[in-house]
Amino acid sequence: MEQTEPAGHEEEHHGSPWPVIIAVGMGVGYVGIVSPSIPILVLGLVIFAGGAGGWIHQDMQRPSSAFYGVAAAVESRFPRVSARKLAIWLFLATEIMFFSAIIGASWTLRLRTTTPGLAFEGPWAQPGEILNVPLTGLNTFILICSSLTMVEALAAAERGDQRKLRLFLLGTLLLGMTFVGIQAFEYQKLYFGEGLTFKSAPVGVNPLYGPTFYAQTGVHGSHVTAGVLAMAYTTRKAFKGGFTKEHHEAVELVGLYWHFVDVVWIFLFTIVYLI
């Protein structure tokens, strides 16, 4: 069915080849993992990195896209829904499933360890016995602070306040880096100091404690790291004047991802550290 463009809106079709190259890189990398073949995996990663770099370089050359607001009604079944924002929410929906699978598997194993007579029977570490709860509580607070700075950055972008937009984005970036840094410090202490490895746990603790801990917090940490990289890109673009009062949807999309990572951590902090 033919639809007309809303008045005053200019559709954007830049026809960039880089997303396709990124997808090819991911596909080749996946083949490398499944085969398994290190050279094919490395080739996939190189293609992926090249595609990502090319896309970032291309996007950095111009102001933020005008593709927001009512634009997406063009090909959408849902009138007045931005296609990009819809894509981000769909992505977050898949992320919910992904994290629930990781957490569900970990909890299943944990419940089995405490069920007499079943496989993997053995004591689970008590909260605070191995993990540094106060330090992680501080890290949780840092992530909450970063959510505030992120949403304030978006508010500044909406007002067209360039100075505060840059300031809050930079603050979010620094807080995110601090979170990752503290987690790396925690890992180093646990792995080399406490003997909590990817395959085992300290004496007297069920060996599944280590793998489940690193699986849950590691997957989240990798998401935060990806968020930090996205934030670094967004911040740099903001400092180059890439966002305006009218064109700043990228700030909101990155923010949605960032807040979601915060939400996941809120549950992980409770599940992994406090319970």
Partner 1 sequence: MATVTATETSGPIEVEPKRPYVLVFAILAVVTLVELSVYSLGLPRLETIAILVILATIKASLVVAYYMHLKYDHRLFRVLFTGPLLIASLTLLALMFLFGHLYIKIM
Which range binds partner 1 by CB under 8 A, 37-45, 107-115, 190-198, 209-217? 107-115
- In three-state form (DSSP H/G/I as H, E/B as E, the rest C), the secondary structure along 163-197 is HHHHHHHHHHHHHHHHHHHHHHHHHHHHHHHHCCC
Angle at the Cα of 254 (from 253 to 257), degrees rounded to 5? 90
Q: How far apart are CA 275 and CA 268, in angstroms?
A: 10
By CB under 8 A, the residues from 19 to 58 that bind partner 1 are none
User: Can residue 74 be called a binding residue for partner 1 (CB under 8 A)?
Assistant: no
User: Can residue 224 be called a binding residue for partner 1 (CB under 8 A)?
Assistant: no
Q: Is the peptide bond before 79 cis (omega within 30 degrees of 0)?
A: no
Q: Kindly tell me which residue out of 45, 52, 151, 230 binds partner 1, with binding defined by CB under 8 A.
A: 151
3-state helix, strand, coil in the chain (%, to 5): 70, 0, 30
User: Can residue 78 be called a binding residue for partner 1 (CB under 8 A)?
Assistant: yes
CB of 95 to partner 1, least distance (A): 9
User: Can residue 232 be called a binding residue for partner 1 (CB under 8 A)?
Assistant: no
| 126-164 b/e (C-beta count within 10 Å ≥ 16 → b) | eeeebbbeeebeebbebbebbbebbbbbbebbeeebbeb
User: Can residue 263 be called a binding residue for partner 1 (CB under 8 A)?
Assistant: yes
Instruction: Between 28 and 250, name the residue whose CB sits nearer to partner 1.
Output: 250
Place of tokens 């993990």: 131
Amino acid (one-letter) located at 133: V
By CB under 8 A, the residues from 189 to 208 that bind partner 1 are none
Q: Name the site residues for partner 1 (rule: CB under 8 A).
A: 8-9, 68-72, 78, 80-82, 85-86, 89-90, 92-94, 96-97, 99-100, 103-104, 107-108, 111-112, 114-115, 127-128, 133-134, 137, 140-141, 144-145, 147-148, 150-152, 154-155, 157-159, 246, 248-249, 251-252, 255-256, 259-260, 262-263, 266-267, 269-270, 274-275
